[in-house]
Amino acid sequence: MASTQQRSTGYDEWLVAHAGDLAQQWRERYATSSGFEVKPVFTPEDLEERGWSYDRDLGLPGEEPWTRGFVPGGYRQQLWKLEMYAGFGSAEDANRRYRYLIEHGSTGGVSMALDLPTQIGLDSDDPAARDEVGQMGVALASLADVERVFDGIPLDRVHHIFTTANCIGPIAAAWFIALSEKQGIPTDAFVVQIQNDPIKEYIARGTQFLPIEASVRLATDMLQYVAERAPTWLPISVSGSHMKQAGSTVVEEAAFTICNGIAYVEACLAKGMRIDQFGACIELHFCTEMDFFEEIAKYRAVRKVWTRLVRERFGGTTARAQHFRLHAATSGRPLTAQQPLNNISRITLQILAQILGGCEQTRTASFDEALGIPTELAARTSIRANQIIAHETGVPYTVDPLGGSYYVESLTKDFESEIWRIIERVDELGGAVEATRLGWFQERIADGAYRVQTALESGEEIVVGVNAYQVDEETPVPVFELDETAIARQVERVKQVRAQRDSARVQAALARLREVCGTQANVMPAVLECVEAYATTGEIAKVWRDVFGTYSSETVRY
């Protein structure tokens, strides 16, 4: 048939005619960071080779196959929600920073970094927590701390709250349900977005403290409860960004995240839930690093793959079930301690890639992150980078501006094929939980990290300011300093909360939680009861540790 016949673009002749020019290269090989070959130029032949079709692979925004985004009007209709992840010290410190960020244009509400003890289920006054209280996030030992963080910040006014509670996901959901009742604001007046993705903790992020099956059960109990009680919330954010920052390639980041997402959905389906009821509660979260076109292709491909999974594998029938929040963060990993102001350029390019990829919510790192917690100036500069793209460049004026680019469409197709291939491999291994237990993801991630490091040391890859274009004397930039007295106050306050609460009520709630954990019933009502009684994060986590056992890291010999 004439219509399917390959049209010659003259590419082969062009290669011959310009062989001399084309042989002059400043790299031995041009490939994306995931290893896809990059040709000197892409033509319609590349699309034909991949079986690309306009209707099947592209279409229009707000329509299947969703390559061009879920929102018909794209950023013309609504600019991306800009979120600035922050948190340190005590509740008051965090409260001040959140107010500052909102005042300066962070439209994504409050994005809370939790300190490590909180994430691992240890209270601020636990001896094992002592050195790390408030260091990498805000310490939230009980509902009392959460109340203080939101002092003067009404939930419906910030509209959006995000936090990286993972293995303590149910506790975080309970905090916000309890807080909405205290503030007298209905749960549909704001959105709570909780990462609640424990699998990737075992793979790459490292805040796991229970056996993996128990963590998956707790996460999906929470998802089930929130999907019913607060259906506009986002109770799970399946996250690839930590796996990539630990060393996976861009395409592995996409595929591993989707595999973990499949594991959660299947766990929910096994509870008797239906995808049409909870599909819209799912969010997929990635980070954007420096390979500009790969990142754009990734976001486009992920929309195609996940929505097809929802339709074909999980039996989703509605557009709402297929739609997921696409959440992207610029990555702290490529940011350098050397010549830190260079990071402003890196961050800006990362933001641009995620905007060209059509992300609905973006989180932006700050240029001083390789040195410590961002200063106000560094955080504000990152907000401004988003605003410059939004208002000065014209980039948001048309939807999916790179749609139809021979290169971007080819790469999107390549991403799609590779993601399906990895899904198939993980299915063969028995799914994401089993693959994690086998260390399959971890091994690939460690390989990737080592590959990147050796390429850097051999000079095969260049990072400006690190292995090329160094300066003898660094120009110092201001570095954030934590108020250490805040930490002591936080520890003191946990003790006060314990002394002032109704101890009998706490003990009864914890006993009920212990009982429920031993059954198949959903733990959330019991967790909520504990939280409302001001049981601490550590006390609730201790019940889980007692019932489910504890995670312990393995020693590896090299």
Partner 1 sequence: MAVTRQIRVVVSKVGLDGHDRGAKIIARGFRDAGMEVIYTGLRRGSDELAETVLQEDADVLGLSILSGAVVPLTAKVVEALRERGMSDVVVLVGGIISAEVAARLREMGVDGAFGPGTSIAEIVDFTRQRVAQRRGEVCRAG
Under the rule (CB under 8 A), what is the footprint of partner 1?
A: 116-117, 120, 122, 128-132, 135-136, 201, 205-208, 245-247, 336-338, 370-373, 446, 449-450, 453-454, 456-457, 466-467, 479, 482, 553-558
Nearer CB in complex with partner 1: 204/263 = 204
- Report CA-CA distances (Å) from 503 to 118, 410, 508: 21, 62, 9
Tell me the closest approach of the beta carbon of residue 166 to partner 1, in angstroms.
11
Nearer CB in complex with partner 1: 122/305 = 122
Task: Return the ∠ at Cα 252 (arms to 44 and 164), rounded to 5°.
Answer: 125
**Which residues have a Cβ under 8 Å from the Cβ of 154 and sit 6 or more positions away?**
183, 185
Both structure tokens of 335 = 């940011």
Nearer CB in complex with partner 1: 293/440 = 440
Tell me the closest approach of the beta carbon of residue 267 to partner 1, in angstroms.
23
Both structure tokens of 354 = 């995620």
Tell me the closest approach of the beta carbon of residue 105 to partner 1, in angstroms.
27
Cα(456)–Cα(447) distance, integer angstroms: 14
Tell me the closest approach of the beta carbon of residue 448 to partner 1, in angstroms.
10
Tell which residue, 244, 311, 285, 242, has the closest CA to residue 81: 285
Nearer CB in complex with partner 1: 47/113 = 113
Tell which residue, 91, 220, 89, has the closest CA to residue 143: 91
Nearer CB in complex with partner 1: 277/336 = 336
Tell me the closest approach of the beta carbon of residue 370 to partner 1, in angstroms.
5
Nearer CB in complex with partner 1: 26/558 = 558
**Which residues have a Cβ under 8 Å from the Cβ of 183 and sit 6 or more positions away?**
150, 154, 155
Tell me the closest approach of the beta carbon of residue 455 to partner 1, in angstroms.
12
Nearer CB in complex with partner 1: 132/529 = 132
Cα(349)–Cα(353) distance, integer angstroms: 6
Tell me the closest approach of the beta carbon of residue 247 to partner 1, in angstroms.
6
Cα(149)–Cα(195) distance, integer angstroms: 19
Tell me the closest approach of the beta carbon of residue 163 to partner 1, in angstroms.
17
**Cα–chain center distance at 381:** 22
- For residue 525, say if its preceding peptide bond is cis, omega within 30 degrees of 0: no
Nearer CB in complex with partner 1: 22/462 = 462
Cα(110)–Cα(133) distance, integer angstroms: 20
Beta strands in 126-267 (DSSP E): 160-163, 191-194, 236-239
